[in-house]
Amino acid sequence: MTMKQWLLSSFVASTCLFSIAAIAGPIEKYTPVTADRLKNPEPGNWMLYRRTYDGQGYSPLDQINTSNVKDLVPVWTFSTGVIEGHEAPPIVNNGVMFVATPQGQVIALNAKTGDEYWRYKRQLPDDLFQLHPTN
């Protein structure tokens, strides 16, 4: 198999697997990501690294503030099953949190409950060597 054939078959297989994974969970009222929404995200969404194209890293939400932040407690945790470094920040759209992990995974979670909607895991080449496997 030539490299071109291998890349094409890998792309087709991963596209099919992603399509199957994407329909596995009951995500309701999901609003598609558009260029306009990325330019001006709604307060409750975090669809880009640091939230905006200019990298503000600021949330306009005000329910949590300096007087009540001390009262925050974790309500759920989630283990991805991957021990290597998780460096990519989660992305949130309409209450769905997308987490990318090392080893080619993307996981969709209910941001409120931590319940998993679906998980896509890309098949990595057997001969892949990563000195520093992060996402």
- pLDDT tens, residue by residue, 38-53: 999 999 999 999 999 9
124, 9, 86, 99: which is closest to 46 by C-alpha?
99
Domain residues for 74? 3-29+66-121
Which residue in this structure is represented by tokens 């949330």? 59
Asked if residue 99 lies in contact with residue 110, where contact means CB atoms within 8 angstroms, the answer is no
Q: Is residue 52 part of a domain?
A: no
The answer to whether the CB of 41 falls within 8 A of the CB of 61 is no
Say how many domains are in the chain.
Answer: 1
Residue 110 lies in a domain: yes
71 is a domain residue: yes
Residues in Cβ contact with 72 at an 8 Å cutoff, skipping those fewer than 6 apart: 64
CATH number assigned to the domain comprising residue 20: 2.40.10
The predicted-structure confidence for 58-80, as pLDDT tens digits, reads as follows 999 999 999 999 999 999 999 99
Which stretches in the chain have pLDDT values below 70? 1-25
Query: Rounded CA gap, 82 and 92, in Å?
Result: 21
d(C-alpha 71, C-alpha 126), whole Å: 47
